Structure formats: C-alpha cells, structure tokens
C-alpha cells in the first residue's frame, strides 16, 4: 500500500513566479510563472497523492495557473484573498512574504478544506486547448523577437514588430478568455461562497446558477434580469399599454 500522506498544496501566484508549499510535508519551492514552470509543476504533482490545490484570487495571475492544473485533472479551487487574510490573522500570522503566503494557503487547504473537485473531461480538454494555444503564441512571439533583433533591413524590422504586436494582442485576448472561463468553472469558489451567504441558497442552487448563468457577477443587475427574462420591458403600441 502507498503510505505517503495526502498532500494539500498552497500556491501564491505573482507576476514572475509561483511560490508553492506542500502540507503536511512542509516542503516549499518556487517555479517561474511561464510555460516551462507550469509543465514542471504539473509533472511534479502528477507523482504525488495531491488531495487538492488552493490558489488565491489575486490580480489575475492565478488564471493561467488554474487552467494548466485543471487541464491536468488536478482538483483545485480559487479562494477569496479575504478568507486567506482572516485565516492568517486567526493563526497570529502577521508577517507577509510570498513564501509565507504559500504556507498559509497550504494550511488553509489542509484545515479548512474548501470544496474542490477535478473538472469533467470536456472542460479539462477545453482548458488544455487554451493553455496549449497560449504556449504556442508565446513561442511565436519569442521566435519573431529573435528574428527582429537579428534583422538588418529596417523595413523587415518594422514588419516583424507589427507581427509581434499582433501576437501580443492575441495573447492578451486569450488570457482574458482563460480568466473568464476559469471564473465560470467549478474551480472558482468565490461566486459559490457569495451565493451561499444568501439565506435560503444551498449547494444545489449555488452550483446550478453559475453553471447555467456564467454571466453572473460579470454584468449589471439590470442586464442580468433582462438576460434571464424577468426584467419589466415595455409592450406598448399606439394607445395600448401592455403588461
């Protein structure tokens, strides 16, 4: 039998790197927040009995990380930073560094155990496609940048710069798509937790609404009511005033 302990993972995502902490091993390490770093991370987790991974929702840096982990079939959830801060204060953890943040997130994962589950295969395939395409675009930008730096002809340099700018715009749009897809997926716990804070809203409603209405929380309440079909809309014609 495999007697290795079940692992709870906390990840603190910043612009350039990911600080990772494993509980109860109390093992800490970091990897770059790029394609190679994410590949190394998913390979490492694939060889461990990971119960689930928790990331903090900060500045959007967590979106591509979550997409890569979800595509690998790892159970994970993204939690509100306020929950992590409150948990740290309750433990008397006042110091703050990226390494310490990762440790607190791992402790939160181990002791609070927020709902986390692997995505169904269709969603995992979708995330895998997005992450793969992102890796391809970054590779193309790198190759075109090298060609531009080596080019002598000024006209060719301008053309390469235009192509790089086009790919960078495509990358930004793709990152936006990944962020929206993550927020509409079961790994994003913020919407579910917020819904369940409303009296009378339980697990079924909190999980059904984001699934059937992914726009929830991304558009105004008037737009949302119109989209659902419960907004009062004028039905007047001539002298007739409809309901």
pLDDT at 29: 93
Please tell me whether residues 58 and 16 are part of one structural domain: yes
Please tell me whether residues 67 and 102 are part of one structural domain: yes
Please tell me whether residues 174 and 137 are part of one structural domain: yes
pLDDT of 157 over the 90 cut: yes
Mean pLDDT of the chain: 84
Q: Which domain holds residue 216?
A: 189-223
Please tell me whether residues 12 and 101 are part of one structural domain: yes
pLDDT band at 1 (very low <50, low <70, confident <90, very high): very low
When comparing pLDDT for 2 and 190, which is higher? 190
State how many domains the chain has: 3
* Most confident region among 158-162, 183-187, 217-221, 232-236 by mean pLDDT: 158-162
Q: Cα–Cα distance between 126 and 128 in angstroms, integer?
A: 5
Please tell me whether residues 55 and 76 are part of one structural domain: yes
pLDDT tens digit sequence for 187-224 = 776 666 667 778 888 877 876 776 677 666 667 788 88
Assess if residue 239 is contained within a domain: no
Alpha helices in the chain (DSSP H): 35-46, 62-71, 81-90, 98-111, 121-150, 154-183, 189-196, 203-212, 221-228
Assess if residue 242 is contained within a domain: no
pLDDT at 158: 94
Bridge partners, 7 (sequence order): 50
Give kind and range of the element (H or E) at residue 115: none
pLDDT tens digit sequence for 63-84 = 888 888 888 888 888 887 878 8
Q: Cα–Cα distance between 208 and 16 in angstroms, integer?
A: 35
Assess if residue 230 is contained within a domain: no
Please tell me whether residues 177 and 193 are part of one structural domain: no
pLDDT at 22: 94
When comparing pLDDT for 91 and 156, which is higher? 156
pLDDT band at 232 (very low <50, low <70, confident <90, very high): confident
Assess if residue 2 is contained within a domain: no
pLDDT of 116 over the 60 cut: yes
- What is the DSSP code string of 1-63? ---PPPEEEEEEE-SSEEEEEEETTTEEEEEESSHHHHHHHHHHHHTS-EEEEEEE--TTTHH
Please tell me whether residues 175 and 193 are part of one structural domain: no
Assess if residue 211 is contained within a domain: yes
Please tell me whether residues 56 and 141 are part of one structural domain: no
Helix, strand or coil for residue 234? coil
Assess if residue 196 is contained within a domain: yes
pLDDT band at 4 (very low <50, low <70, confident <90, very high): low
Please tell me whether residues 139 and 99 are part of one structural domain: no
Tell me, what CATH number does 63's domain have? 3.30.420.40
Cα separations (Å) of 161 from 53, 144, 153?
Answer: 39, 8, 12
Q: Cα–Cα distance between 225 and 37 in angstroms, integer?
A: 42
Lowest-confidence region among 95-109, 170-184, 197-211: 197-211
Assess if residue 103 is contained within a domain: yes
Burial 196-232 (b: 16+ CB within 10 A, else e): beeeeeeeeebbebbeeeeebbeeeeeebeeeeeeee
Bridge partners, 10 (sequence order): 21, 54
β 76-79/236-237 pair status: unpaired
| CB-based contacts of 6, cutoff 8 Å, min separation 6 | 49, 50, 51
């Amino acid at each position: 039998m495999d007697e290795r302990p079940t692992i709870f993972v906390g990840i603190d995502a910043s612009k350039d790197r990911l600080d990772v902490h494993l509980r109860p091993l109390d093992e800490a390490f970091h990897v770059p927040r790029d394609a190679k770093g994410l590949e190394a991370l998913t390979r490492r987790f694939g060889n461990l009995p990971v119960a689930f991974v928790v990331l903090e929702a900060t500045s959007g840096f967590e979106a591509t990380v979550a997409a890569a982990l979800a595509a690998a079939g790892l159970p994970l959830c993204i939690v509100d930073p306020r929950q992590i801060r409150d948990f740290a204060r309750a433990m008397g953890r006042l110091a703050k560094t990226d390494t310490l943040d990762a440790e607190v997130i791992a402790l939160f994962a181990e002791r609070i155990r927020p709902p986390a589950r692997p995505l169904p295969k269709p969603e995992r395939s979708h995330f895998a496609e997005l992450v793969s395409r992102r890796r391809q675009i970054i590779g193309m930008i790198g190759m075109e940048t090298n060609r531009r730096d080596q080019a002598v002809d000024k006209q060719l340099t301008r053309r390469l710069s235009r192509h790089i700018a086009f790919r960078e715009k495509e990358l930004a749009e793709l990152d936006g798509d990944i962020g929206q897809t993550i927020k509409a997926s079961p790994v994003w716990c913020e919407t579910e937790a917020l819904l369940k804070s409303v009296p009378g809203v339980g697990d079924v409603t909190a999980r059904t609404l984001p699934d059937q209405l992914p726009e929830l929380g991304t558009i105004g309440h008037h737009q949302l009511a119109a989209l659902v079909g419960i907004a009062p809309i004028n039905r007047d014609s001539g002298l007739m005033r409809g309901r």
